């Protein structure tokens, strides 16, 4: 399938959960899964599946980027430190986590403005744990709504295809 490259998906600088500036271009050449996360959501147990994907595929070039958001039901009320501690204690999260951001509505961060406006993944983020799969070349390949489990056949097949393309 011939797709037009997504301009700028990895051309943003975001703050890590620790407060450091992270140039997302550092992930170019990797398959990237961008996920808006929350600690008090019915989908919060997906952290476990995301970490399992990280454990299984990081060495092959998968990068998972978690972006906490308090946009839906105020289910991410914690501070950066509280979010970090929660993720490590409950799910052993070792994939890259970023500072809390707005992912929906008119005040969403530019990264999510771009993600939700591209033709392969149009429309507002509807809830926590929506996932955007970015190819090694920076193209948006797929979008998975909240109910799609990280370790589902649908998700794993898409990840493995993204990782296979060099």
Helix-helix angle 46-57:153-164, to 10 degrees: 30
Element (H, E) at 15: strand 13-15
- Three-state DSSP at 133 gives strand
Checking if the pLDDT of 7 tops 60, the result is no
State the pTM of this model. 0.93
Exactly one of 41, 103, 111, 125 is catalytic; which is it? 41
Domains of the chain by range and CATH?
13-157 (3.40.30.10)
Res 34: pLDDT: 97
The model's confidence at residue 9, banded by pLDDT at 50, 70 and 90, is confident
What is the DSSP secondary-structure string of 65-89? EEEE--TTTT-----HHHHHHHHHH
Residue 87 known to be catalytic: no
Spatial distance between the Cα atoms of 2 and 107, rounded to a whole number of angstroms: 32
Structure confidence by residue, pLDDT tens digits, 17-64: 999 999 999 999 999 999 999 999 999 999 999 999 999 999 999 999
pLDDT in tens, 102-154: 999 989 999 999 899 876 667 899 999 999 999 998 888 999 999 999 999 99
Q: What is Dmax (Cα atoms) for the chain? A: 43
């Amino acid at each position: 399938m011939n797709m037009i490259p997504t301009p700028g998906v990895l051309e943003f600088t975001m703050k890590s959960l620790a407060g450091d500036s992270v140039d997302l271009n550092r992930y170019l050449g990797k398959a990237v899964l961008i996920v808006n996360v929350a600690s008090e959501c019915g989908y919060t147990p997906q952290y476990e599946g995301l970490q399992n994907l990280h454990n299984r595929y990081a060495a092959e070039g998968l990068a998972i980027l978690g972006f906490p958001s308090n946009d839906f039901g105020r289910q991410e009320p914690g501070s950066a430190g509280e979010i970090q501690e929660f993720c490590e204690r409950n799910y052993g999260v070792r994939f890259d986590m970023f500072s809390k951001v707005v992912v929906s509505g008119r005040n969403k961060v530019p990264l999510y403005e771009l993600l939700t406006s591209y033709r392969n993944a149009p429309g507002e983020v509807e809830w926590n744990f929506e996932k955007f799969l970015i190819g090694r070349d920076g193209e948006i390949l797929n979008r998975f709504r909240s109910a799609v489990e990280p370790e589902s056949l649908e998700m794993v097949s898409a990840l493995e295809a993204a990782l296979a393309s060099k």
